[in-house]
Amino acid sequence: MTKVTLEVNGKKVSKEVPDHTLLSVFLRDNLNLTGTHVGCDTSQCGACVVHVNGKSIKSCSTLAADVEGSKVTTIEGLAKDGKLHPMQAAFKKTHGLQCGYCTPGMVMSAVDLLQTKKNPSDQEIREWLEGNICRCTGYQNIVAAVKEAATKM
Amino acid sequence: MKSFNYHAPKDVKDASKLASSNSAFLAGGMTTIPSMKLGLASYKDVIDIKNIKKLSGIKVSGKSVTIGATTKHAEVAASKDVKKAIPALAKLAGNIGDAQVRNRGTIGGSISNNDPSACYPSACMALNAVIHTNKRKIDADKFFTGMFETALKSGELVEAVEFEIPEKADYQKHPNPASRYAIIGVFVAKHKKDVNVAVTGAKSCVYIDQDLSKKLSSNFSVSAIEGMEVKSSGMNSDMHASAEYRANLVSLYAKKAVEAC
């Protein structure tokens, strides 16, 4: 067992968990933050993307113990005071989702992109989202959502 | 995933002491964790080396670029120093996997794993890299010994990779569209005296194509290798590409790389 202390969505949390606990499991099972989805569980689909110290990573391929002491942001941490984050609002407005399973990861990846590139081209958006797989939308409206959010962020 | 004991030592000595035949060093974990999850690997001890400060960072001297083992692909891709000294290396790092993999994956992890389709081993071979471990220095051509095999001994840890700065270089990859691993990747580096053409993805282990290297050493131009046939013997054949297709890609991508130099 190992003690993992993190700041998740601004709140300090500390839990004793088995050493091999994945960050995705820690978030979902120990903290009940089930907005972080597990899709493929082999680090290809990106449904599990969260931010660790501001950078997007795949939480299903990261040990909770490995990010000890870090600041973690999940999809639940984006909306402030009941108001959607501009990226969430843009996904809603442009209908950048259908079933919604991949959406938390898509949104977290896209937010990370706009942190480093304020006005990405379609090509840059598509390249950045290579690690996020969506089986519904055909990606067009996801790209449109990121472009829309870029005008608001 | 089977249970294990997690350790996060602060220096190389402690990391080395914890190592055994039933342990693994953990850097970014982009291969180690999925392998353990799939049951392809299991260890009694997992030794996380991220807290060992001296293993991270990029140093450029007049002749070489040295990258610490735990330096992430995203850091290499964004490094102004690497972009200036060996732009092809920054380009290679910026096209490994996807953005989230590049935020975690490390150069030390990539070369220690020596996946036959990994990008970094080709840069090591073409740029006459020296692999610094906690025990010795190993030349790249002695380091990569076979499929997922390296010269590393039990408990031996890669500390840094030192690349020779070439006159010109370029890396061209034909990625698998799903995994972004190289179906084939060709790293061409023109040094003062000779040219190295390193190929990854084509065979069970990265290698230098001697014929292409020789031709380009005497005449560094696309026309020098125009029409040269790359033999498909010993090349991988799988659902993604036949050996013959891979051989053709090597020839094509070598020309692309020379053109881009």
pTM given for the model: 0.96
Chain A residues near residue B97 by CB distance under 8 angstroms: 131
User: Is residue A97 within 8 Å of A136, Cβ to Cβ?
Assistant: yes
Structural domain boundaries enclosing B34: 1-52
Q: What is the CATH number of the domain that holds B201?
A: 3.30.390.50
A63: its two tokens:
């040990």
Identify which of A2, A22, A56 has the shortest CB distance to residue B100. A56
ipTM of the complex, rounded to two decimals: 0.95
| Count of domains forming chain B | 2
User: Is residue A152 within 8 Å of A126, Cβ to Cβ?
Assistant: no
A138/chain B closest Cα distance in angstroms: 15
Phi-psi region of B148 (alpha: psi -120 to 50; beta: other; left: phi over 0): left
Shortest CA distance from A131: residue in chain B: B98
Return the SS3 of A51.
strand
Q: List the one residue out of B37, B177, B103, B77 whose CA is nearest residue A133.
A: B177
Domains of chain A: 2-77 (3.10.20.30), 86-150 (1.10.150.120)
Q: How many other β-carbons are positioned within 10 Å of the β-carbon of residue A78?
A: 19
Residue B178 lies in a domain: yes
B147 vs A149: CA distance, rounded Å: 45
Residue A42 pLDDT grade (very low, low, confident, very high; cuts 50, 70, 90): confident
Pairing of strands B195-200, A11-17: unpaired
Whole-number Cα distances in Å, B260 to B81, B221, B222: 20, 11, 10
A38 vs A48: CA distance, rounded Å: 5
Identify which of A2, A55, A63 has the shortest CB distance to residue B33. A63
Say whether A61 and B104 touch across the interface (CB within 8 A).
yes
pLDDT (tens digit per residue) in A93-124: 999 999 999 999 999 999 999 998 999 999 99
Residue B92 lies in a domain: no
Chain A residues near residue B178 by CB distance under 8 angstroms: 44
Say whether B3 and A19 touch across the interface (CB within 8 A).
yes
Residue B48 lies in a domain: yes
Say whether B100 and A19 touch across the interface (CB within 8 A).
no
B121 vs B208: CA distance, rounded Å: 11
Residue B13 lies in a domain: yes
Choose, out of A44, A63, A72, A112, the residue to mutate when testing the contact with B (most B CBs < 10 Å): A63
Q: What is the CATH number of the domain that holds B22?
A: 3.30.43.10
pLDDT (tens digit per residue) in B191-241: 999 999 999 999 999 999 999 999 999 999 999 999 999 999 999 999 999
